[in-house]
Amino acid sequence: CGAMGDDADTLRILVATDCHLGYLERDTVRGNDSLRSFEEILRLAVDHNVDMLLLGGDLFHDNKPSRKTLYRTMDLLRTYCMGDRPCPIQICSDQSVNFHNRKCVNYEDPNLNIALPVFSIHGNHDDPSGDEQLCALDLLSAAGFVNHFGRTREVDDIEITPVLMQKGNTKVALYGLGSVRDERLHRTFRDKKVTMKAPAESPDQWFNMFVIHQNRVKHGPTNFIPESFLPPMLDLVIWGHEHKCEIEPVHNETGNFFITQPGSSVATALSEGEAVKKHVGLLEIREKSFRLSRLVLKTVRPFAMGEVVLSESGLDTNQHKAIEDLLVSEVNKLIKRAQHEYSERSPDGPAMKPLVRLKVEYSGGFASFNSQRFGQRYLQEVANPKDILLFHRRRAAHKPSEA
Amino acid sequence: CGAMGDDADTLRILVATDCHLGYLERDTVRGNDSLRSFEEILRLAVDHNVDMLLLGGDLFHDNKPSRKTLYRTMDLLRTYCMGDRPCPIQICSDQSVNFHNRKCVNYEDPNLNIALPVFSIHGNHDDPSGDEQLCALDLLSAAGFVNHFGRTREVDDIEITPVLMQKGNTKVALYGLGSVRDERLHRTFRDKKVTMKAPAESPDQWFNMFVIHQNRVKHGPTNFIPESFLPPMLDLVIWGHEHKCEIEPVHNETGNFFITQPGSSVATALSEGEAVKKHVGLLEIREKSFRLSRLVLKTVRPFAMGEVVLSESGLDTNQHKAIEDLLVSEVNKLIKRAQHEYSERSPDGPAMKPLVRLKVEYSGGFASFNSQRFGQRYLQEVANPKDILLFHRRRAAHKPSEA
Ligand SMILES: [Mn+2]
Ligand SMILES: [Mn+2]
Ligand SMILES: [Mn+2]
Ligand SMILES: [Mn+2]
């Protein structure tokens, strides 16, 4: 794509997902991580003067966020999303279909001064429940801070009506589908019962963008949504739910569309995927082309992961002290690596204890030991002292693999 | 007081309390009662073109209101409280002291178009909790819909800083104190540790109004706040928590102030106090004088209460059928009375099953019987079929009374 300025035909969107607000909120060290990075995202949106912020679900970690989390979230949204910047996006679709709550996008409400409109689908963590099928996003919608879209009541026959957005010559059809149980949605897709209602008027002029919150990685025969299920009319898919940052758009050859997977803004597991450097995307759309620039999240807690295989360490199974020394030395290396990565990414950031995870493969007669006790020595240095070590045995080498 | 027009020197306030939003929300008949009457209150405020709505606590029934209740409440507030009417009240006090949340009254926020500002203290039902001492009102504050005031962190030494409001020549000092445990507050008052910080400048020009949410009725030696504890500098006290509507201002001779007790807008008990016709108050303050007009709440579910003393019925203890017939006849009379009262109060209102409570005094060898079974015949007629009858025995006549 060519250069795209901050001009009248370029729709500029900050794209993020899986903020998991309220995650571990009672943890004295990590309790504020999710909100801190969400605030960074809001600040990035304001600083980059985008036209909107687009979220891919799991804004909240808990289906019923605590009062404190809800309060702080509303406080942040009120602080960053209100103001005098007029929103240049014109909505051409039927808003009463797009936005089930107030039937109107928030920045067109004459009583609210919205500078940064937020659009979000819901994830599996913050999905609707109860007789009125309300979710935490609906509270933010009622307050006027978020435009919750992509809710479907029907799961076996889904028609997705896009939000039609226009800025100058650029026309974007934004399709959203809040989280649905994967097996169920897999079946509905397979049965060709998911329809995306393309705009009737000059359909080929629209940039078609789909926001989805499902397993992208195969977790079982139908426990994911294959990319091949998605219609080729799409131009760009924003994939939420997967926490690993793979924000660089990947081209899907069959469908001839791109997929970007922003990943979470807070690690909710000590896994490889969450250890990847976290970004959000600055998406610029001009007519039918787009550009996505990644913006690193500086406030994310540093996290380093490593592995040691005891049977390859040259130590004997009864050399307990030496084994422990080895693990201490490996953990120290991880701490250094995490701190180094953090100081490069965020040279002016405040000191932050890193997350550290050392996987210990202990097959071959080695004993595991108490990870919690081991972590005592790292109370001042590591954010997760209790679960630094993860002991595991390698799967039997000759076990036949599943079909 | 003389006539007070809708003029530039008259501060006009709608006064209500104890809306208990979400009360019995899962009850298929009564589930919407609290929200319906709250909506009526908001509509009255708009229709009477008041400058503000003042609430005396227990806006919510549950400390943690359900998502549905929170959603509907925000939706109502957004619908009725926003708009183009400029608020003519000027706040002269330090808002960062008055409003602990956003440090600013909502209608002065340039990003919110507030037509009807709502001011509220919290009650015992919706009191602050957790490490940040947040309550449900704070969520409404964060959203910009309510000005939560009168929160105190200190319970043994309370200084109440009023919100100083000015409209033309009228100056009102609004003192608020959110609910505190009665025994505790009783002691603090008794120890002269409750101070109301009168405005320094021309203190005698201010109309001093105090909003309190405590027991007014004596429930034990210190389990209430005697009116005599309140300082004589006050002009008017708005007393929340007591659900019985005694909205007509009563003069306290000693303190030379008036007390108005609006009462709840929904019956949360089948008691005498809740059976009194419910009102809110249209309070007009002009310089140092005020007038309070009561406005009947038309949407309140009709409620009639009666009593029958079996030993005075002329029936024998073994005339079970005749006793039951008597109770049926009494309940029928109550239903008629409730419906009559409702049709007078709300001639155009929708049909509504009444609340009915018949107290049955059954001393003298009479048997009580299953109230739930008795109510089966009233499923279509009464809103509380399961607990229409309340059997009780008169206290022994010669039992010595407590000191
Ligand atoms: Mn998810
Ligand atoms: Mn997630
Ligand atoms: Mn109450
Ligand atoms: Mn109360």
C-alpha–C-alpha distance, residues A261 and A245, integer Å: 6
Residue B211, beta-bridge partner list = B176, B238
Whole-complex ipTM: 0.94
pLDDT at B394: 83
In this complex, the residue of A68, A112, A142 whose CB is nearest that of residue B74 is: A142
If we measure between CA atoms, which residue out of A302, A294, A325, A323 comes closest to residue A311? A323
Cα-based distances in Å from A212 to A244, B3, B67: 15, 63, 25
CA of B168 to the centre of ligand 3 (A): 34
Tokens linked to B316: 């024998």
pLDDT at A64: 97
Which residues in B lie closer than 8 A to residue A78 (C-beta atoms)? 102, 111, 142-144
Q: Any idea which residue has 């209500």 for tokens? A: B16
CB B371 within 8 A of CB B389: yes
Per the CB < 8 Å rule, is A144 touching B143?
yes
pLDDT at B400: 47
Per-residue model confidence as pLDDT tens digits over A347-365: 999 999 999 999 999 999 9
Which residues in A lie closer than 8 A to residue B145 (C-beta atoms)? 143
Per the CB < 8 Å rule, is B67 touching A134?
yes
User: Does residue B32 sit at the A interface (CB-CB below 8 Å)?
Assistant: no
If we measure between CA atoms, which residue out of A210, A191, A207 comes closest to residue A199? A207
Sign, CA torsion A309/A314/A317/A322:
negative
Question: At residue B355, what are phi and psi to the nearest 5 degrees?
Answer: -85, 135
pLDDT at A401: 44
CA trace torsion A147, A153, A157, A158 (10° rounding): 0
Per the CB < 8 Å rule, is A136 touching B67?
yes
If we measure between CA atoms, which residue out of B84, B64, B181, B171 comes closest to residue B124? B181
- What angle do the packed helices A67-81 and B136-143 form, to 10 degrees? 10
Cα-based distances in Å from B253 to A17, A245, B69, B256: 64, 72, 42, 5
Helix (H, G, I), strand (E, B) or coil at B271: coil
Q: What mean pLDDT is reported for chain A? A: 95
Q: Any idea which residue has 């609210």 for tokens? A: A112
Answer yes or no: is pLDDT of A229 > 80: yes
pLDDT at A200: 87
Q: Any idea which residue has 């009463």 for tokens? A: A96
For B76, name the nearest residue in chain A, comparing CA atoms only.
Answer: A142
Per-residue model confidence as pLDDT tens digits over A278-294: 999 999 999 999 999 99
Catalytic pick among A61, A122, A125, A148: A125
> What would the mean pLDDT of A111-121 be, rounded to a whole number?
98
Q: What is the bridge-based pairing of β-strands B10-16 and B279-286?
A: antiparallel
C-alpha–C-alpha distance, residues A342 and A304, integer Å: 10
- Per residue in B232-253, is it b (16+ CB within 10 Å) or e — as a string? ebbbbbbbbbbbbbbbebeebe
- Distance between alpha carbon B46 and the CA centroid of its chain, in Å? 19
Looking at chain B, how many residues does it have? 403
Which residues in B lie closer than 8 A to residue A135 (C-beta atoms)? 67
DSSP label at A125? Answer: T
CB B239 within 8 A of CB B259: yes
DSSP label at B29? Answer: T
C-alpha–C-alpha distance, residues B272 and A129, integer Å: 38
C-alpha–C-alpha distance, residues A398 and A402, integer Å: 12
Q: Any idea which residue has 């924003």 for tokens? A: A238
CA of A170 to the centre of ligand 4 (A): 56
Whether B125 is catalytic is: yes
> What would the mean pLDDT of A262-276 be, rounded to a whole number?
97
pLDDT at A203: 87
User: Does residue A75 sit at the B interface (CB-CB below 8 Å)?
Assistant: yes
Q: What is the bridge-based pairing of β-strands A118-120 and A303-309?
A: unpaired
Query: Which H, E and C letters describe A274-342, residue by residue?
Result: HHCCCEEEEEEEECCEEEEEEEECCCCCCEEEEEEEHHHCCCCCCCHHHHHHHHHHHHHHHHHHHHHHH
CA of A278 to the centre of ligand 2 (A): 14
pLDDT at B22: 98
Q: What is the bridge-based pairing of β-strands A246-252 and A257-261?
A: antiparallel
Helix (H) or strand (E) holding B22: none
Cα-based distances in Å from A83 to A7, A214, A279, B38, B108: 20, 34, 26, 31, 13
C-alpha–C-alpha distance, residues A160 and A43, integer Å: 31
pLDDT at A6: 56
Alpha helices in B175-291 (DSSP H): 182-190, 272-275
Cα-based distances in Å from A309 to A318, A324, A393: 15, 13, 9
Answer yes or no: is pLDDT of A183 > 60: yes
Q: Any idea which residue has 């203190």 for tokens? A: B203
Answer yes or no: is pLDDT of A135 > 50: yes
pLDDT at B253: 96
A62, A66, A70, best to mutate vs chain B, most B CBs in 10 Å: A70
DSSP label at B28? Answer: T
In this complex, the residue of B71, B78, B138 whose CB is nearest that of residue A134 is: B71
A67, A87, A104, A137, best to mutate vs chain B, most B CBs in 10 Å: A67
C-alpha–C-alpha distance, residues A352 and A341, integer Å: 12
CA of B58 to the centre of ligand 3 (A): 5
C-alpha–C-alpha distance, residues B283 and B271, integer Å: 27
CB A166 within 8 A of CB A199: no
**What is the layout of strands, in order, in the sheet containing B170-177?**
B90-91, B163-167, B170-177, B207-213, B236-240, B257-261, B246-252
pLDDT at B149: 97
pLDDT at B201: 85
User: Does residue A344 sit at the B interface (CB-CB below 8 Å)?
Assistant: no
C-alpha–C-alpha distance, residues A311 and A317, integer Å: 8
Q: How many helices (H) and strands (E) does chain A have?
A: 8, 18
How many Cα atoms are found within 13 Å in the side-chain-facing hemisphere of B94? Answer: 8
Residues B179, B184, B187: CA angle, nearest 5 degrees? 125
Answer yes or no: is pLDDT of A398 > 80: no
pLDDT at B4: 59
C-alpha–C-alpha distance, residues B143 and B121, integer Å: 16
B62, B99, B111, best to mutate vs chain A, most A CBs in 10 Å: B111
C-alpha–C-alpha distance, residues B154 and B132, integer Å: 14
Sign, CA torsion B80/B81/B86/B88:
positive
Burial of B269 (0-12, 13-18, 19+ CB in 10 A): exposed
Q: Any idea which residue has 């309510």 for tokens? A: B146
Q: How confident is the model at residue A400 (pLDDT cuts 50, 70, 90)?
A: very low
CB A149 within 8 A of CB A162: no
Q: Any idea which residue has 């009379």 for tokens? A: B333
CA of B115 to the centre of ligand 4 (A): 28
C-alpha–C-alpha distance, residues B148 and B141, integer Å: 6
Question: At residue A187, what are phi and psi to the nearest 5 degrees?
Answer: -65, -45
Tokens linked to A255: 């469908």
User: Does residue B158 sit at the A interface (CB-CB below 8 Å)?
Assistant: no
C-alpha–C-alpha distance, residues A364 and A391, integer Å: 13
pLDDT at A5: 58
Q: How confident is the model at residue A399 (pLDDT cuts 50, 70, 90)?
A: very low
Ligand that comes closest to the CA of residue A18? 2
In this complex, the residue of A66, A83, A130 whose CB is nearest that of residue B68 is: A130
> What would the mean pLDDT of A152-179 be, rounded to a whole number?
96
> What would the mean pLDDT of A202-220 be, rounded to a whole number?
96
DSSP label at A102? Answer: T
For A30-34, A378-382, B169-173, B366-370, which range has the lowest pLDDT when averaged over its residues?
A: B366-370
**Tens-digit pLDDT string for chain B (403 aa):** 444 555 899 999 999 999 999 999 999 999 999 999 999 999 999 999 999 999 999 999 999 999 999 999 999 999 999 999 999 999 999 999 999 989 999 999 999 999 999 999 999 999 999 888 999 999 999 999 999 999 998 999 999 999 999 999 999 999 999 999 999 999 999 999 999 999 988 889 999 999 999 999 999 999 999 999 999 999 999 999 999 999 999 999 999 999 999 999 999 999 999 999 999 999 999 999 999 999 999 999 999 999 999 999 999 999 999 999 999 999 999 999 999 999 999 999 999 999 999 999 999 999 998 999 999 999 999 999 999 999 999 875 554 444 4
Answer yes or no: is pLDDT of A129 > 50: yes
Tokens linked to A27: 């943890």
Q: How many helices (H) and strands (E) does chain B have?
A: 8, 18
The minimum CA-CA distance between B366 and chain A, rounded to whole Å, is 45
User: Does residue A103 sit at the B interface (CB-CB below 8 Å)?
Assistant: no
CB A71 within 8 A of CB A147: no
Alpha helices in B241-283 (DSSP H): 272-275
Per the CB < 8 Å rule, is B112 touching A111?
yes
Burial of A132 (0-12, 13-18, 19+ CB in 10 A): exposed
Cα-based distances in Å from B93 to A253, B50, B125: 65, 21, 28
- Per residue in A15-46, is it b (16+ CB within 10 Å) or e — as a string? bbbbbbbbbbbeeebbeebbbbbbbbbbebbb
DSSP label at A323? Answer: H
Cα-based distances in Å from A216 to A239, A243, A300, A364: 8, 11, 24, 35
3-state helix, strand, coil in chain B (%, to 5): 25, 25, 50
